[in-house]
Structure 1
Amino acid sequence: MDLKALIRDIPDFPQPGIVFRDITTLLRDPDGLRHTIDVLAERCNDLNVDLVVGMESRGFIFGAPLAYQLKAGFIPVRKPGKLPAAVHSVEYDLEYGTDRLEIHQDAASPPARVLIVDDVIATGGTAAATAQLVQCTGCELAGFGFIIELTGLNGRAKLPDAPIISLLEY
């Protein structure tokens, strides 16, 4: 299946010169969505993960059904103030400023193997910050899974040494 055909390009969003890869058109296509999860599960199966971590919010969309397919648990990583129990927190750089992500302190414990999943890897900041949160739990980082990789932004360079699986490259 040609997944790129299901992803809409939006020129000049969010600012002039940027081509935004809109996955909402993929998400609304039942066969495309099913195929995306199935292929990602197939490619991640050999990582032998116990837990899938998805970042707010698109990481939730792909992470939960992927966890189901891999017979793993799912852990949400959230923006500040959204998790009700004690958290580990990490601040990371954005293009203009900083942001923060959090994970429950009791979300995972060793020797769990954790797969981090998101829709897109661009500059790598969010995925790298999430990897830091996984390290706070003491668990083993099994790898990363992305639907789209924007290769020109070299986000891989920010990530720790672990397998990186991306279904599509732009």
Structure 2
Amino acid sequence: MDFKEKIAIIEDFPKKGISFKDITPLIGDGPSFKLLIDTMAEKLRKLDVDYIAGPEARGFIFGVPLAYAMEIGFIPIRKPGKLPQETVSISYDLEYGQDTLEIHKNAFKKGDRVALVDDLLATGGTISACAKLIEQAGGEVVSIDFMIELTELHGRDKLEGYHVESMVQYDL
């Protein structure tokens, strides 16, 4: 199946000049969403993954059902103050400022194999920070997987050294 057929392109959203890739038609179509998750799970099973991790909120959309399909745990990566146990954190630069992400300090045992999952690879800044955070917590990032990749933004450049997969690619 060509998953692009289920992604709506909304021009000038959320502001003029942006070509927004809307995943809601895809995730709203049960058989298509199941096929997507099954396809991603089949690829990741070959990598002997122990956990799926994903950043809030859209990483949860794909990460949780993927972990379920693979019968492994899901580890949330959250904004500060959202996790109840002791955390490790990382701050990273955004276009206009900084942001911080956290993960439970005890999320992984040293060497646990982790697939990091999110909806979209754009510039790579957030997901690069997520990968470093997983490594700080003791996990080994064996794959970084996306539903969509915006190839002209060269986000893969920030993920050099990692195995990166995307289900659908767009030029801007």
TM range (shorter): over 0.9
- Report the alpha carbon displacement of residue 22 of structure 1 after superposing the two structures with TM: 0.7
Question: Which residue of the partner structure matches residue 35 of structure 2?
Answer: 35
| Conserved 8 A contact 1:128-1:160 | no
Partner of 2:70: 70
How many Å apart are 1:60 and its aligned residue?
Answer: 0.7
Hey, what does 2:104 align to over in structure 1?
A: 104
**Partners of 2:149 and 2:16 in 1: CA distance:** 20
> Which AA in structure 1 matches 2:57?
S
Structure 2 unmatched runs, 5+:
none
Per mean C-alpha deviation after superposition, the further-off stretch among 67-76 and 117-126 is 67-76
Q: Which residue of 2 aligns with 1:94?
A: 94
Q: Which amino acid aligns with 1:99?
A: D
Instruction: Show CA shifts across 1:64-100 (max 9, x none).
Output: 1111222321100001110111111111122222211
> 1:124-169 deviations in whole A, cap 9, x for unaligned?
0111010011111122111101111110100011114121111000
After TM superposition, give the deviation of residue 15 of structure 1 in Å: 2.1
Report the CA distance between 1:107 and its aligned residue. Answer: 0.9
The residue that corresponds to 2:133 in the other structure is 133
**Alignment match, 1:123:** 123
Q: Which residue of 2 aligns with 1:144?
A: 144
SS of 2:141's partner is strand
> How many residue pairs were aligned?
170
Deviations 1:10-67, CA, capped at 9 Å, x for gaps: 1112222110101111111111110110111112221110011011011111101111
Runs of 4+ in 1 over 2 A off after TM superposition: none
Q: Distance in 1 between matches of 2:99 and 2:139?
A: 23
TM-score, length basis structure 2: 0.95
Tell me how far 1:111 sits from its aligned partner: 2.2
Identity over aligned pairs, percent: 51
SS of the equivalent of 2:101 reads strand
C-alpha separation in 2, matches of 1:109 and 1:15: 43
Q: 2:95 is matched by which residue type in structure 1?
A: E
CA distance in 1, matches of 2:95, 2:12: 17
Contact 1:89 1:102 in 2 (8 A): yes
Secondary structure of the residue aligned to 2:37 is helix
Distance 2:126 2:45 in 1: 23
Aligned twin of 1:46: 46
Gapped regions of structure 1 (runs ≥ 5): none
